[in-house]
Structure 1
């Protein structure tokens, strides 16, 4: 918890800032995440925040609701739940995974979807190097399960010499060179 909470907090705050900067006319723009336009991506982030808030309380897996435009507020609640030491204990009854694994899943979502949103809306984005390193290490271990569950797409070839963030994007199915 001690080393993950700052990474989760920074990645969440960075992504929330990107969401706040989206202009209404950008909601229909395409994103690097093929199944989402900007509005759908923000709605997905809202669901991620709600889901991980519930999971952090040892609660149920919840379904995605309609777009509300309140991701930053939801994300604050999620971080508050995960700031409690008991959120990190044991295994999630809803997901059957260790709570530390869920925290890493959340981190990957914040880091990668922050990039998706920034690319789609022309915003600057520089993820925290340690968050990228942790996300890449975790994803290397979980990529096959992620693909089986539909969370990751087919890999995009990225040179081994590429920056860590580009390699992370390639592993989960994003083209680091994507532009709108």
Structure 2
């Protein structure tokens, strides 16, 4: 939970700093411009709040500009001990796996947003380590489901965050 909280807070700060004139900028996540990425983050927060309460997946709605509020709801849902227990009725995955999926989204999409908008981003090293370990185990399933792209080669001795980005298909040196 502390890793989810720190990653969410960092991404929330980045979202709040985006200016409307930046909405059309490209991001390292090829399918999203900045506005689409923030809309995706809104949906991620809403969906993982529902999943954290053992509810159903939710459809992505239009951009609302309320990611920080939705993220608070997500963190509240996952702050309950029962959120971490058992399996998701909707997804059939362990609740801990869903929490890790959310963590990966916050860490990586925070970087996407920072790169696209020229903001500084220093991910939490513990969150990166946890996200990398989880992603290494789930990457093939993620690729089959279209969540991750083809891997981008990074040196074996690259920092963990660069390895995380490379494994999911992001180029760690991407610039606008």
TM class, shorter-length: over 0.9
Instruction: Determine the C-alpha separation between the residues in 2 that align with 1:54 and 1:81.
Output: 8
The whole-number CA distance in structure 2 between the counterparts of 1:16 and 1:85 is 24
Shift of 1:141: 0.2
Task: Note the C-alpha offset of 1:26.
Answer: 0.2
State the distance in 2 between where 1:145 and 1:96 align. Answer: 14
Moved over 3 A (4+): none
2:128 counterpart residue number: 132
TM-score of the superposition, structure 1-length normalised?
0.97
Residue 67 of structure 1: how far off its partner (Å): 0.3
Q: Deviations over 1:10-50 (max 9, x none)?
A: 00000000000000100000000000000000000000000
Corresponding residue to 2:81 among 61, 72, 85:
85
| Equivalenced residues, count | 176
**Aligned-residue offset at 1:115:** 0.1
- Runs of 5+ unmatched residues, structure 1: none
Structure 1 vs Structure 2 CA RMSD: 0.4
Give the C-alpha shift of residue 157 in structure 1.
0.4
- Residue segments in structure 2 that go unaligned for 5+ positions in a row: none
What's 2:67 paired with?
71
TM-score (norm 2): 0.99
